Amino acid sequence: MIGVSAAAIVAGAATRSSKNDISRNLDIFTAVYKNLQTSYVDSIDVDKSINTAISAMLNEIDPYTEYIPESEQEDFMTISTGEYGGIGSYIGTRDGKTFVSEPREGSPAQRAGLRPGDVFITIDGDSVTSLSSDVISKRLRGQAGTKVNVTVNRPYGSAALSDTILAFEITREKIDVDPVPYYGVVRDDIGYIQLTTFNEKSFQAVKDALTDLKKNPKVKSIVLDLRNNGGGLLESAVQIVGLFVPKGTEVVRTRGKGLVNEKIYKTTHKPVDTEIPLAVLVNGSSASAAEIVTGAIQDLDRGVIVGERSFGKGLVQSTRAIPYNGLMKVTIAKYYIPSGRLIQAIDYSHRNPDGTVARIPDSLTTVWHTRAGREVRDGGGITPDIKGVYPEGNRLVYNIVRDGWSFDFANRYFARHPEGIPAEDFEITDTIFSEFKAFIDPKKFKYDRACELVIDQLEKSAKTEGYLNDSVQSSIDGLRALLQHDLEHDLNLNRDMIASYLGPEMVMRWHGTRGSIIQTLKNDQDVDSAAAVLHSPDRYREILRKK
């Protein structure tokens, strides 16, 4: 034991710079900084220059190691604790205007009457039309119990559906960020739980949802949706895995500098159900703690993974207090899931000559094995057992969403039809779709000029190379005419995909986030893929069996 400890100490020391090197470089930095302050011709912003130097140093290490000054700690604490003081509203920016994108259900903003689309004009009497959304967000936040006066411009706010100026006095409250915005029954007999983050409230929220779903005699299996979940607290991930596996099961181990810095995390609570069939949904934005849960479920053969390969973040951060109320979030370890694999996709310690980094190629990854002996690989996120099949990206639909056509139409439709219908029953009818098409102004709709640019380049190249005779020019002109955009045709051609975005946007106006999720799940291909395997016990068992 003594020999191992000594070796660990030596190994740890070998990874650190010498004290002389550290002292020498600190002296150099201090001298450079003092000379700038005393001799540079213009004045230098002290805080800005130091923060720039710190950021440059940390950016050379990895994207997750960062300095958080006191002025920027509010957002960091919100992520960790799941709560903040404010009015409870998401905000967005378009064309230089900051607006309410969605007031949280039951929040002070919603109760006061703020709606999606309301554009901020003043806050506490001060004009905010020229301020960034970050500044406006900070102005809206504050200590619970304090009041904030907000003036907004509401499109379609009057009986004639014209803009209306409205004023609100809102009392701020402690806003809890609900990590489980929705759970319910999908595809007749599947319990569905959507988890958006891993904070201090996540474990209890998932446990409560799972326990409630199991009371429903219809529920035969569970889907845990971790898509777009960027992670959070490692301990929360371990607790959530513990809902599905026996107490005392190893979920993850972290390794820092030297052998003495290895830590093993095992489940500590009595599970809710270790047998119910389970599917976990992931995509390229599922990261960190979400990958711990996904990877552990896969390595322990506890459930099937459905969707896209996850992000690939296998680094652990911890916060350290530093002088003058600052915080430093520093990468202290890498985490390894039960099979022993590391799923980190990028090795930041080995950069290209230009300073860039790249994902570890699949050819350099290593094969590991799950508890049942199934082959899995390291070095690039969690590869799902069932890969999702998705339609190709569509620029027309992207532009509809990006430029706010669906958002604005939903606001106008809500102004005309405030009564609404149940989220489960809503659909984009022919009448609604015709209204939407008429709502889009062809003169203002921004098409991508991909085809036009290619034809222009073809014409230019033909001219440069001496091929642009009358016959070629005629053919190019004919091709240009054939590829002219026809908005009516394009909208009809892409109706189903447009409806998949427009429907949830509209339902949100009547039923909030919960209703929007219900509407989205009606045509969710990953949920369909999960349902297909959960409804086939033989296939489910076959996936989890050693090949």
* Sequential DSSP letters for 338-361: TTS-----B-TTS--TTS---BPP
Question: Which candidate, 446, 526, 364, 435, places its Cα nearest to that of 95?
Answer: 446
Terminal CA-to-CA distance of the chain, rounded, Å? 40
Find the DSSP H helices in 40-65.
46-59
More confident residue, 392 or 154: 154
The pLDDT confidence band at residue 5, using thresholds 50, 70 and 90, is: very low
Instruction: For residue 148, give the 3-state DSSP assignment.
Output: strand
> Model confidence over 178-196: pLDDT tens digits?
999 999 999 999 999 999 9
* pLDDT at site 6: 35
**What pLDDT sits at residue 485?**
82
The number of beta carbons lying within 10 Å of the beta carbon of residue 402 is 13
CA distances from 355 to 60, 151, 345, 352, 359 (A): 8, 47, 17, 5, 14
**382 Rama class: left (phi>0) / alpha (psi -120 to 50) / beta:** beta
Residue among 226, 227, 256, 230 nearest 241 (CA): 226
**Yes or no: domain 83-176 corresponds to CATH 2.30.42.10:** yes
Range in 348-362, 428-442, 481-495 with the lowest mean pLDDT: 348-362
89 phi, psi to nearest 5 deg: -145, 135
Backbone angles phi, psi at 358, to 5 degrees: -135, 160
- pLDDT for residue 158: 85
Packed helices 430-439 and 495-521: angle between N→C axes, nearest 10 degrees: 120
> Among residues 89, 107, 286, 288, which one is catalytic?
288
> Is residue 273 scored above 90 in pLDDT?
yes
Give the C-alpha separation, 544 to 299, whole Å. Answer: 10
Please tell me which residue in 313, 406, 516, 526 is annotated as part of the active site.
Answer: 313
Q: What is the pLDDT of residues 211-235, one digit of tens each?
A: 999 999 999 999 999 999 999 999 9
> What DSSP state is assigned to residue 242?
T
Q: Say whether pLDDT at 8 is over 60.
A: no
State the pLDDT at residue 242. Answer: 98
In this prediction, residue 409 carries a pLDDT of 98
Q: What average pLDDT does range 388-395 have in this prediction?
A: 83
d(CA 392, CA 43): 53
Q: 3-state DSSP: the chain helix, strand, coil percent, rounded to 5?
A: 40, 20, 40
pLDDT (mean) for 258-287? 94
Instruction: State the average pLDDT over residues 310-329.
Output: 90
Averaging pLDDT over each range in 273-287, 412-426, 439-453, 482-496, which range is the top one? 273-287
pLDDT tens digits along 40-80: 889 888 888 888 898 888 888 888 999 988 877 777 777 66
Per-residue confidence (pLDDT) for residue 259, from 0 to 100: 67
Residue 305 has pLDDT above 50, yes or no: yes
Radius of gyration, alpha carbons of the chain: 28
Q: Are strands 89-94 and 97-103 parallel, antiparallel or unpaired?
A: antiparallel
Higher per-residue confidence, 503 vs 37? 503
- With CA atoms as reference, report the closest residue to 144 among 111, 170, 162: 170
Q: How confident is the model at residue 17 (pLDDT cuts 50, 70, 90)?
A: low
Contacts of 346 (CB under 8 A, 6+ apart): 312, 357, 358, 359, 360
Homologous superfamily (CATH) for 182-323+331-388:
2-enoyl-CoA Hydratase; Chain A, domain 1 (3.90.226.10)
The answer to whether residue 288 is catalytic is yes
How far is residue 547's CA from residue 542's CA, in Å, rounded to a whole number? 8
Among candidates 98, 147, 86, 88, which has minimal Cα distance to 122? 98
pLDDT band at residue 260 under the 50/70/90 scheme: confident
Alpha helices in 229-313 (DSSP H): 234-241, 289-299
pLDDT above 90: residue 483: no
| Whole-number Å distance between alpha carbons of 317 and 334 | 9
Indicate the SS3 state at residue 503: helix
Q: How far is CA 182 from the centre of its chain?
A: 16
Domain parsing of the chain, residue ranges? 24-60, 83-176, 182-323+331-388, 395-447+488-529, 450-484
Pull the structure tokens for residue 202: 């996540």
Selected catalytic residue, list 62, 225, 299, 408: 299
Average pLDDT, the chain: 91
Burial class of 310 by CB neighbour count within 10 A (0 to 12, 13 to 18, 19+): buried
Q: What is the mean pLDDT of residues 229-258?
A: 95
- Alpha-carbon distance values, 379 to 310, 351, 359 (Å): 11, 16, 8
* pTM of the predicted model as reported, rounded to 2 decimal places: 0.86
Q: Over the stretch 366-379, which tens digit does the pLDDT of each residue have?
A: 999 999 999 999 98
Q: Per-residue confidence at 160, pLDDT binned at 50, 70, 90?
A: confident
Least Cα distance to 518 among 420, 401, 433, 392 occurs for: 420
The domains spanning 83-176 and 182-323+331-388 adopt the same CATH topology: no
Q: Is the pLDDT of residue 7 over 70?
A: no
* 299 annotated active-site: yes
Q: How far is 6 from 15, CA to CA, in rounded Å?
A: 15
Closest CA to 73 of 282, 322, 326: 326
Is 67 in contact with 55 (CB distance < 8 Å)?
yes
> In the predicted model, what is the mean pLDDT of residues 385-414?
92
User: How many residues in the chain?
Assistant: 547
At residue 80, the pLDDT reads 66
pLDDT at 12: 42
